[in-house]
Amino acid sequence: MLTPRGRAAMSVDVITFGDKMRFWHERMPEQMILRSRRRSSHIADPDGSLSLDAFAAEHGHPRLDPVPLTEFESYGAWYGERAAPDLDGRRIIAVVPRGERSFTLRLEDGAEPTVSRVIVAAGISPFAWRDSPLADLSDELVSHSSYHRSFGRFRGRSVAIVGCGQSALESAALLHEEGAAVELIARRPAPVWLAGHGDSLRARVRAGLAPPTDVGGRATGWLAAAPGVMHGSPRALREWTTARCVVPAGADWLPERVRDVTMTMNRQIRSAETRNGTVRISLDDGSEREVDHAILATGWRIDVARYPFLDRSIVERLDLGVRALDALVPCGRGQRLGIFSGSGVGKSTLLGSIARSTTASVNSSVWIPRSRFPRRASPAAAGMAPMPSWSVAPSGTRSATCAPIRRSTSPMTGSGCSCGG
């Protein structure tokens, strides 16, 4: 969050739109407790003056750990009043590019301010992931765990929960405490529990070794807590760390609350159908369940194209026609893609494939290391000469333009090119 002090220091003119903590107020269970410990639940700010502890001290609240949702919601509202006191509550209907260097914001009252940059921090509300055969059934019978503010309506009814992370486990606990007949179904062989405080020496040691973010293990968690280190690490290490930091897990205070909940582990749902107003679930071991309702606690899948206010020209993918690129480095229209390598490794072939399969402008240039040029050499002395580059139009016609190229027979020569839809 860019605080007023930060804006002044950077001489940035910022307009902030939004509705503070709306997702938490509307989509999180009222009796929820944060999975992260107190030390990991502060909202970031430059100097730490807006921490959860500062909020508690100002209002005379006890330092509860774990943190209940009610306290966190109040803390978020307090934080927002200080970090964004001029928050504009008008809803943004659309963000539309205007030329190459600005955007038009269409607001609900008809106003259309123009800005040079847009930072989207609109939360995960549109990204609920329904990865299950149950997803095709009616919303009245199957819902995502984020759509339940309370569970009182399920008292005396049977409910199946799919998943094994904090959302699934805490929903199971809340449903059981409301008097529902609950069964949790998961692909994992057993739940994963986070390290807690505990009274034993072993528990205290484990808690002391846990990273401040409360994600990952004793090694991966500390790596993830140092983004500067992670950014400069090899890709394989970053992927290994990420995979171990996003494992579904439950808080240490949950096991006792789900002790009497039926858990069917190491099973997958093969099929699901409705029958006389109920949900019939078939598992991969041949067994079947018939319940009044099913809740998918299957997490989130980020896809910015699902933000309804972003213009399609911003989020539309550009198919390059090269399967490896489309899968590993998907591009958007207007984006520039750089290809850098030494000579003779297939850049022209790759560019040809891209040019044949997509509407793009392609430019090619060649560089050699600065050390290869005499000191203070002029461009002419350095061997600068024009070289044709091609612009591929939708019709397939080509027009030649000129781009500068430094020519050298040095084996150190490298090449680069960029293309944009």
Phi and psi, residue 40, nearest 5°: -105, 10
Instruction: Examine residue 355 and state whether it is found in any structural domain, yes or no.
Output: yes
At residue 218, the pLDDT reads: 76
Q: Do 149 and 288 sit in the same domain of this protein?
A: yes
At residue 373, the pLDDT reads: 46
At residue 239, the pLDDT reads: 87
Instruction: Examine residue 400 and state whether it is found in any structural domain, yes or no.
Output: yes
Contact, 390 vs 356, CB < 8 A? no
β-partners of residue 159 are 182, 293
Instruction: Examine residue 141 and state whether it is found in any structural domain, yes or no.
Output: yes
Q: What percent of the chain has pLDDT over 90?
A: 43
Range of lowest pLDDT (221-225, 258-262, 274-278, 357-361): 357-361
Distance of CA 49 to the CA centre of its chain: 27
Q: Do 243 and 260 sit in the same domain of this protein?
A: no
Q: What whole-number distance in Å separates Cα of residue 93 and Cα of residue 89?
A: 12
Q: Do 405 and 268 sit in the same domain of this protein?
A: no
Instruction: Examine residue 389 and state whether it is found in any structural domain, yes or no.
Output: yes
Count of domains observed in the chain: 4
Tell me the range of 35-39, 55-59, 218-222 where mean pLDDT is highest.
55-59
At residue 384, the pLDDT reads: 46
Instruction: Examine residue 116 and state whether it is found in any structural domain, yes or no.
Output: no
Q: Do 137 and 167 sit in the same domain of this protein?
A: yes
Q: What rounded mean pLDDT belongs to the chain?
A: 80
Q: Do 368 and 394 sit in the same domain of this protein?
A: yes
Nearby residues of 94 by Cβ (< 8 Å), 6 or more positions away: 105, 106, 309, 310, 311
At residue 401, the pLDDT reads: 35
pLDDT of 417 strictly over 90: no
Which of 236, 267, 296 is a domain's end point? 296
**Structure-token match 């019978």, residue found:** 141
Q: Do 187 and 39 sit in the same domain of this protein?
A: no
Q: What whole-number distance in Å separates Cα of residue 251 and Cα of residue 172?
A: 13
**Over residues 83-99, mean pLDDT:** 90
Instruction: Examine residue 233 and state whether it is found in any structural domain, yes or no.
Output: yes
pLDDT of 139 strictly over 70: yes
Which of 247, 266, 283 is a domain's end point? 247
* Number of CB atoms found within 10 A of residue 15's CB: 10
Q: Do 157 and 290 sit in the same domain of this protein?
A: yes
Which has the closest alpha carbon to 311: 142, 147, 120? 120
β-partners of residue 290 are 280
Q: Do 266 and 133 sit in the same domain of this protein?
A: yes
Tell me the range of 190-194, 346-350, 401-405 where mean pLDDT is highest.
190-194
Instruction: Examine residue 61 and state whether it is found in any structural domain, yes or no.
Output: yes
- Mind listing the pLDDT tens digit for each residue in 181-223? 999 999 999 998 887 666 677 767 776 777 777 777 778 888 8
Tell me the range of 76-80, 237-241, 377-381 where mean pLDDT is highest.
76-80
At residue 244, the pLDDT reads: 84
Structure tokens at 29: 């269970």
At residue 9, the pLDDT reads: 54
Range of lowest pLDDT (174-178, 274-278, 386-390): 386-390
pLDDT of 91 strictly over 90: yes
Q: Do 337 and 360 sit in the same domain of this protein?
A: yes
pLDDT of 364 strictly over 50: no
Instruction: Examine residue 107 and state whether it is found in any structural domain, yes or no.
Output: no
- Print the domain residue range for 272: 129-192+250-296
Kindly report the CA angle at 178 between 173 and 182, in degrees rounded to 5? Answer: 55
Q: What whole-number distance in Å separates Cα of residue 66 and Cα of residue 52?
A: 12
Q: Do 341 and 286 sit in the same domain of this protein?
A: no
Q: Do 69 and 169 sit in the same domain of this protein?
A: no
CA separation (Å) from 368 to 75, 263, 380, 414? Answer: 56, 63, 15, 6
The residue type found at 380 is: A
Burial class (CB in 10 A: 0-12, 13-18, 19+), 378: exposed
At residue 356, the pLDDT reads: 74
**Over residues 6-25, mean pLDDT:** 79
**Over residues 17-38, mean pLDDT:** 91
Q: Do 223 and 364 sit in the same domain of this protein?
A: no
Q: What whole-number distance in Å separates Cα of residue 219 and Cα of residue 57?
A: 33
Phi and psi, residue 290, nearest 5°: -130, 115
Q: What whole-number distance in Å separates Cα of residue 86 and Cα of residue 17?
A: 9
